[in-house]
Structure 1
Amino acid sequence: MSKTDGRSSRWNEHRRIRREELVGAALDALRTAGPDFSVDDVARAAGVSKTVIYRYFGDKDELIDAVLERISTEVLLPRLLGELALERADDRAQLHAVIAAFVQLIEEEPALYRFAYAQAGRSGRADLVAATENQVAQALGTLMTERLAAAGRPTGAAMTWAYGVVGMVQLTAHWWSGTRAVSAAELTDQLTDLAHGGLATLLPPLPG
């Protein structure tokens, strides 16, 4: 490798690391200042000037997209997909664990949750909400498909059921985040009862 190539590689790695640090500062600013945080808030959190921020991000929209990506890959998906991947004694326990994880996330990271949903559906913006819902629904649908196939049952409805469950949980949890009409534990139990009550009539029983 030439000296020029070596310097370029080091600069690219430095730039990547610096961007990651600034995204971390943006998350700190988001938690402190709320969903409408400014670039000034990020600069203060990072201990740099706004000029430095714009050296690594073309504009605030680019910074917001990077923040959404971080929330998706390091906060939302690992928790939800991780719960889906764990084997449990029965379907109700599986649904309860995933729903509980989502509700707990709303409680633990209210600013991140409000920010993510404030960006949903905006033109030209990476839609974190839709992307997360799709990945969780696809994972749930895959589990349902495997269950049905193992029982020799048609699998065509698995994805419909999976997206129905995810949509139900997401919309209800979003309503709850603003009303807190019941406790988090009650919400989780109520959603689990509704989801499991419907699926229990459709899915074959677990073996054993």
Structure 2
Amino acid sequence: MIKISRTTIVPIVIGACALTVAGGGATALAHGQRGQVAQSASSGVHPATNVTGQGIDQVVVAYDGPNSTVGSAPTPAPLPGMTVQITVPSGFTALLIARFSAESACYGGDAGQPEWCTATIKANGVEMSPQTGSDFAFDSTDNGAESNASWESHAMERVRRVPAGTYTVRVFGLTTLFGTSQPTFWTGERVLTVESSLTPAT
């Protein structure tokens, strides 16, 4: 079934396939520590968390084309059209896997300030893993060097294991603000895909 409006929601049920997902623990970063932590993570200081499922049982997709600057503030705001609902039936738990991609530009802010634009994915208001808050840079101003014509394609993926119930999965946008000038988070051609892998509850 396909429901078409300004935002299109496409629910799909597919056959089972093998599936393993690896995630990492959340780490709070101070201003300027991003490269240092990334290097230590690659050296094995922060071991990955492995999450497994028994196959993909449902896929729900939302896509939305119009350009938007929603999310251009330090407070999270829902990105246009990037909301889906998915239901885990009674007697099961589910591994939810959410992917978000978009064309984006992150520009403005003060020259020399390491500002970035963040996207975060939440299920029923709870951030999916890895839970990094505003630390995750979906795009960046490149110390103020980017412009409103610095278009790029970016993507992210998050996971969360949940019990039976109906879940609203939503993408939020926000920016850092280290200086005095507010950066702009521009997005277009947004796509949110949520998959569920069911496991019988014990």
Q: TM-score, normalised by structure 2?
A: 0.28
Please state which structure has a larger fraction of its residues in strand: 2
Greater Rg, structure 1 or structure 2? 1
- Greater RCO between the two (CA within 8 Å, min separation 6)? 2
